[in-house]
């Protein structure tokens, strides 16, 4: 398993101690959830990328409304990426987009615990989903939540390690316990941001099938466009994703392919939403990295255009295919990346920022209540 630095170990201990005191408690499968806390449940026989036990977080809300949220956090598409997990230090000091000798050397969470609950996961009163029950599925395999493989790699210190790309395995175990705990919700919101958005689009159908009697299901995907013509090979042969997921990949727009399949197969059962910003700097950098393998260079601004044009091509494609999906586009700046914001759904501005007098929170809640519409499409012109 990957060795943490002494500083990371110290930060991990301090933060975990603080979180345990503040808003996280450990539970067993049959334990009644403690209200006002994120209850941490370790998934039996499931592991993170580094071999540590995998977990999920449960929040007890009103009992009739349920959010299932997939965590984001990078992607692993080649063996070299396995060497560079997101550290606690980088996460807590907001250095996810740090560039050093190895370029963007932060590709995935090797293991995970909840450090903050913002945006759609927030319990504060300005969040219209505050009283919903919530499930937060950590992202600990670098595989958009769809992997099933274990494979060897050599870490940055030259030591042989095993990488566990087990997102799909962990998801199936998590859903068994989620279904047992919330068997008959009246409303379900399936969501995810960044890598979690890819996961939500790929796996929402599986969740919908598990709740055949729920008549109000919304799928909200936030910021998942990465252009690459290797996606099918990566998903099949590197992550080991199941055929039912990889069979839907047929273009260089993986997120678009999974959204397309979702709309085609479940458009009669779920309202599908997608949000993004106009020049997402994080998506631009990862698109550059996946396509060039260049670990040394800051984002070339041409990749902002690649992401923007690719999203517009997706919109045209969906319109041609008459797929029903609603969009929310913003142009909030992001000084760290030099582009626009990445992932509004788990940002502190989730309920307060507005485009055309509509906040992302209001837009999603309106959709849940049956009123779907687009916001900010003119910003793409």
- Residue 109 maps to which CATH number? 3.40.50.1820
Instruction: For residue 28, count CB atoms less than 10 angstroms from its CB and return exposed for 0-12, middle for 13-18, buried for 19 or more.
Output: exposed
Looking only at the bridges linking them, the beta strands covering 187-193 and 53-59 are unpaired
DSSP assignments along 270-330, one per residue: EEEEEEEETTBHHHHHHHHHHHH---SSPPPTHHHHHHHHHHHHHHHHHHHTT---EEEEE
- H/E stretch holding 7 reads helix 6-22
350: nearest Cα among 164, 88, 118: 118
Q: Which domain holds residue 248?
A: 6-380
Q: Per the structure, how many domains does the chain have? A: 1
- Smallest CA-to-CA distance from 318 within 366, 262, 234 is with 262
Q: Among 120, 139, 123, 112, which residue's Cα sits nearest to residue 37?
A: 123
Report the side by side order of strands in the sheet with 187-193: 24-26, 38-47, 53-59, 133-137, 65-70, 187-193, 217-222, 270-277, 326-330
Instruction: Look at residue 333 in the predicted model and tell me its pLDDT.
Output: 83
In a domain, 1, yes or no: no
In a domain, 223, yes or no: yes
Q: Residue 200 is inside which H or E element, if any?
A: helix 195-210
CA distance 144 to 120: 20
| Residue 66 placed within a domain | yes
Whether this prediction's pTM lies above 0.85 is answered by yes
276-288 burial string, b = 16+ CB within 10 Å, else e? Answer: bbbbbbbbbbbbb
Residue 47 forms part of a structural domain? yes
Between the CA atoms of 38, 41, 42 and 48, what dihedral angle is there, to the nearest 10 degrees? -40
Question: Is 30 domain-assigned?
Answer: yes
Give domain status of residue 137, yes or no: yes
Rounded average pLDDT per 10-residue block, the chain, 381 residues: 44 40 60 88 92 93 96 90 74 47 55 66 92 94 97 93 97 96 98 96 98 98 96 98 98 98 97 94 87 70 89 96 97 80 87 94 98 96 82
pLDDT (0 to 100) of residue 108: 74
**d(C-alpha 106, C-alpha 268), whole Å:** 39
* Angle in degrees, CA 188, 343, 103, rounded to 5: 135
> What's the pLDDT score for residue 69?
96
Q: Residue 316: inside a domain, yes or no?
A: yes
25 in any annotated domain: yes
Report the alpha-carbon distance of residue 5 to residue 11 in Å, rounded: 10
């Amino acid at each position: 398993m990957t060795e943490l630095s002494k500083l990371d170990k110290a930060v991990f201990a301090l933060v975990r101690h603080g979180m345990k005191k503040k808003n996280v408690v450990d539970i067993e499968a049959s334990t009644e959830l403690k209200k006002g806390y994120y209850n941490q449940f370790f998934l039996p026989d499931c592991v993170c990328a580094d071999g540590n036990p995998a977990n999920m977080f449960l929040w007890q809300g009103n009992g009739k409304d349920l959010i299932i949220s997939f965590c984001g956090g990078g992607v692993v598409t080649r063996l070299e990426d396995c060497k560079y997990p997101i550290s606690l230090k980088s996460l807590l000091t907001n250095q996810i987009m740090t560039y050093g000798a190895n370029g963007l050397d932060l590709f995935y969470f090797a293991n995970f615990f909840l450090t903050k609950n913002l945006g759609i996961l927030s319990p504060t009163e300005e969040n219209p989903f505050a009283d919903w029950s919530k499930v937060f599925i950590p992202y600990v395999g670098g595989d958009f939540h769809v992997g099933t493989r274990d494979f060897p790699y050599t870490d940055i210190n030259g030591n042989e390690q095993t990488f566990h790309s087990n997102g799909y395995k962990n998801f199936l175990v998590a859903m068994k316990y989620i279904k047992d705990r919330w068997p008959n919700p009246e409303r379900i919101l399936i969501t995810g941001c960044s890598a979690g958005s890819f996961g939500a689009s790929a796996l929402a159908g599986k969740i919908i099938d598990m709740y055949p009697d729920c008549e109000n299901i919304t799928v909200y995907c936030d910021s998942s466009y990465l252009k690459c013509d290797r996606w099918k090979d990566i998903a099949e042969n590197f992550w080991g994703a199941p055929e039912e997921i990889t069979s839907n990949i047929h273009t260089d727009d993986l997120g678009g392919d999974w959204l397309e399949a979702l709309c085609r197969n479940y458009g009669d059962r779920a309202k599908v939403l997608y949000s993004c910003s106009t020049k997402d700097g994080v998506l631009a950098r990862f698109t550059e990295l996946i396509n060039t393998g260049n670990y040394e260079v800051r984002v070339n601004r041409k990749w902002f255009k690649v992401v923007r044009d690719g999203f517009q091509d997706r919109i045209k494609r969906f319109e041609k295919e008459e797929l029903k999906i609603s969009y929310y586009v913003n142009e909030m700046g992001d000084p760290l990346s030099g582009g626009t914001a990445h992932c509004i759904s788990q940002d502190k501005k989730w309920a307060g920022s507005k485009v055309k007098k509509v906040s992302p929170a209001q837009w999603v809640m309106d959709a849940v209540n049956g009123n779907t519409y687009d916001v900010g499409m003119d910003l793409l012109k």
